[in-house]
Amino acid sequence: MFADRISDLDSSGIRKVFDLAQKLKNPVNLSIGQPDFDVPAELRKVAIDAIEDGFNSYTPTQGIPELHTAIRSQLLKKYNYNPDKVLVTSGVSGALLLCLQCLVQSGDEVLIPDPYFVMYKHLTNLCQAKPVYVDTYPDLTITAEKLEPYITSKTKLLFLNTPSNPCGIVLEANNLKEIASLAKKHNIIIITDEIYDEFLYDQKPVSIAQYYDNVILLNGFSKSVAMTGWRVGYATGPEAIIEKMTMLQQYSFVCAPSFAQKAAVKAIERGSENERQIYRGKRDRIYNGLKDVFDVVKPGGAFYIFPKVPDSSASDFVERAIENNLLIIPGSVFSEQDTHFRISYAAADVVIDRGIEILKSLV
């Protein structure tokens, strides 16, 4: 019944976790990939006002002009980057789907640093291209040196995600420059997913878009201001690519939600400095709580940490954690290996502390 392109799509890893979790009454939940705060009040007000004012129709496919202006001025200020084109999308997920549909097909290879955000793998498969996993263990950082052996004449695309899900790893400027020159040498297009860039704790923001033209930069408002259900993101990059994506959006998503685009303009103006400070405190709390017991890389951004399981497989360890009322995700959901586990510390401090206690009791 189903098309070939859908045959590799499965959600068995994560489903098993949620099946086990169903049995828990009041779990210590460190599994959720979204902020633990609500959309800030001033942004909710902008959205409500937009709806009440009748701003409820289709918007231009590419997004409303004031959001384009806000995105451009933010990128200019942050990175001195002035993209050819901007497309407002239905979240970063929408942008990812458009991007891959426009760029890859059977016979193409897509470099995915492992561990990875799950959508990269599944959308690559959906487009019938071949995911090529680049091993980044044990420091979980992708470098030009690690990438080079995986490049072939079929390599079309490279995914970067900084700060990363599931590891919270941040790529530094020197590293990005080397990756950019490698990509240039082999004519590889880079998709840089920067959705966690407002949660950056130890260094200034830097983007590979500063060093290489053939880059599609993706960002959105699901994490920085918790608009996960409102579905707004954007893609910027070379004119030809963004124009094709815009055309495909015209025949699929049509446009991002109208009221949410208005709120996104305000979100850029507002920033997320307060939330960043709070999450930095949570990052320190979880890292300090785990570092003496687990082999763990200190995350520089996002709201995840990815410790190594001391002996057993990560899936067995996570099963034991769930038996002890703690919800975490096995690394195999985000990786071709099953040795680590993901914690989301987007949670109240008391929940983080209870999670640390349970994890310590398991080793």
Using the rule CB under 6 A, which residue among 124, 125, 165, 207 binds ligand PLP?
Answer: 165
Tell me the Ramachandran region of residue 125: left when phi exceeds 0, alpha when psi lies from -120 to 50, beta otherwise.
alpha
Minimum distance from residue 200 beta carbon to ligand PLP (Å)? 14
Minimum distance from residue 31 beta carbon to ligand PLP (Å)? 12
161 binds ligand PLP (CB under 6 A): yes
Write the binding mask 19 to 38 for ligand PLP: x where contact by CB under 6 A, - elsewhere: --------------x-----
Question: How many chain residues touch ligand PLP (CB under 6 A)?
Answer: 13
93 binds ligand PLP (CB under 6 A): yes
Residue with Cβ nearer ligand PLP (92 or 216): 92
124 binds ligand PLP (CB under 6 A): no
Residue with Cβ nearer ligand PLP (117 or 212): 117
279 binds ligand PLP (CB under 6 A): no
Under rule CB under 6 A, which residues in 288-307 are in contact with ligand PLP?
none
Q: Which residues contact 207 (CB under 8 A, 6 or more apart)?
A: 78, 79, 81, 176, 192, 194, 197, 215, 217
Minimum distance from residue 246 beta carbon to ligand PLP (Å)? 18
Residue nearest to ligand PLP (CB): 91
The rounded distance, in Å, linking the Cα atoms of 336 and 339 is 10
Q: Which stretch binds ligand PLP (CB under 6 A): 41-49, 86-94, 147-155, 272-280?
A: 86-94
Binding site for ligand PLP (CB under 6 A): 33, 91-93, 117, 161, 165, 193, 195, 220, 222, 228, 233
